[in-house]
Structure 1
């Protein structure tokens, strides 16, 4: 699929991977539509993209609010057009043990990324089906492939994104709407600044250098662009993480043992 002159909607566009992807798509010639809760940050990013010669529109919205998303979706279609590219990138949530996560927190962690991705896709998919054209990218973490201690709801929400991606691809069989999953390892983004206790819970085996380098948002954005241009089904980065996931499918117990042994320890009662 090409990117030039395409309409691209990006959620979670105010920082991190979303911001970097918006800039990369704009440089490639897309009209980027930025969605996030923080309108001020979106405005600053829009000014940056415009100054670089890009085409951009902003729509502040809480993607976990289905009614608000439906209204924004209709406004975008009427004012700009039907999206050709849809990138479900927004996500949140802390790494916590089950007993340390209250039910309201669990609901919030599932709301973004999973319910937000569903709401956005639900708002635009009928229009995309009418034109029988498009590319949907679902962004998740490599936590979607492993049993990760100390991150029960965070990991579950990422598994949900992986399941949503696979089911959506099946749902769109025999159409010209392509679906891709982008799973990234640890990314140098504001996430860990906003969730300082989460970083210490990452299994040490997943942070070994040079095998598992910390990714930049720009590297993830470049992988997304590459995936769109080459019609990829799934991209896992960094490369050694992809090999680890492949190995875990064949020999799950050794990988699970490594993750649990190098992750957060629970004291025996």
Structure 2
């Protein structure tokens, strides 16, 4: 019996224009009508997600920053985890051999060293934006996560550098082909969902989850009913070959899957 459904946002619930479609909103409402709890699990900042949730009047738990923050349906923060200063210090101060742009997140928002208007397209409907700062002079005592955005091959080389420098003091993952994230150790959507389920008295076996990127791997692999998007990173499909793959986010595939599951729970689904 499914008691909770968790959803990644970009590439999963959101269409390529970064909006939630009407069919998706209808399917989510049907889940709530069945008393199935909703969780939005995303790499996006909590400030942005709280705005989105309130605008759409979604009754949902929130896992933000790829597991660095958990919020109840009422907005209460029940979990927070930041990078330690000895990790944030070299991240922000060291000159890394990469062309990727660096982005720093803390509870106050999103910070970067130079204007990158193209990145704002993903946030056009929420209005969330970065603040331009001198990264070298930012405080390192409350950094939630650091993201590097750039070409995938460059990020792969950077990942090797970061792992050599930080070792097990940080968790590295791709939240997209062009985005490498540095998170606190043990911090991921799967661990956050497990903590939320324990708090709510729900077994992970009674959860379903949807995702498309490597930052969804732990979440999809831990639940009783994991589903991978058709537009997913090939690495994710390869790591979880036993999970079903559905359609593309551009066609609101999650809504089609959920509608079929709600109406025909005992019949196989075909994208």
TM-score interval for Structure 1 and Structure 2 normalised by the shorter chain: 0.3 to 0.5
TM-score by length of 1: 0.39
The structure with the greater share of residues assigned to strand is: 2
